[in-house]
Amino acid sequence: MEADKTQKLLKERLKEKGGLKVTHQRLLVLSVLEENSGSHMTAEDIYDLVSEDYPEIGLATVYRTLQLLWDMQLVDRINFGGDGCVRYEIGHLLNGGETKHNHHHLICKRCNKVMPFDDDLLESLEDHIEKATGFHVLDHELKFYGLCKDCMKKQR
């Protein structure tokens, strides 16, 4: 999705909410999120990136903007592992229906190595869930915990 289209959507939603303004800062935060679609960024990551173009921005503004974008459903919040900080990425609704990311990981319980693993096997299960529960699935995340090849060897 092109930046123009995302910006247009932001402007629409701000108008819908009534009285809210399209500011330079809001556009910049959104554009950084869009340029890094797929990565999971903390507020500080976003602050650092926006600062490159606009050093006078404040961290508090980034937090306030992320809260606003979340309220308007333009960004998603995610929580990876137990690192205790909230991460953001551009919303699924904006992220193009096609390029949905399938978070499949093999995680070794011994050495904590994380290996990616691709498989689209779950698509049909999503349909089943939606029919059975009314829950509309947007994305999934599948983690397998176990022992990697190397740690299996070491174990014996």
Partner DNA sequence: GTGATTGCAAACTTTTTGCATCCGA
Partner DNA sequence: TCGGATGCAAAAAGTTTGCAATCAC
Contacts to a copy of itself by CB under 8 A: 70, 73, 76-86, 92, 106, 108-110, 115, 117, 119, 121-122, 125-126, 129, 133-149, 152
Alpha-carbon torsion (124, 127, 133, 139), positive or negative = positive
Shortest Å distance, C-beta 25 to a copy of itself: 21
Question: Do the beta carbons of residue 49 and residue 42 sit within 8 Å?
Answer: no
Shortest Å distance, C-beta 54 to a copy of itself: 25
State both tokens at 17: 């909410």
CA angle 49–96–75, rounded 5-degree value: 45
Comparing CB distances to DNA, the nearer of 19 and 97 is: 19
Comparing CB distances to DNA, the nearer of 62 and 94 is: 62
CA angle 62–103–26, rounded 5-degree value: 15
Q: Return the residues of window 78-137 that contact DNA according to CB under 7 A.
A: 84-86
State both tokens at 30: 């959104």
Give the footprint of DNA on this chain (CB under 7 A): 14, 19-26, 42-44, 54, 56-61, 63-65, 67, 84-86
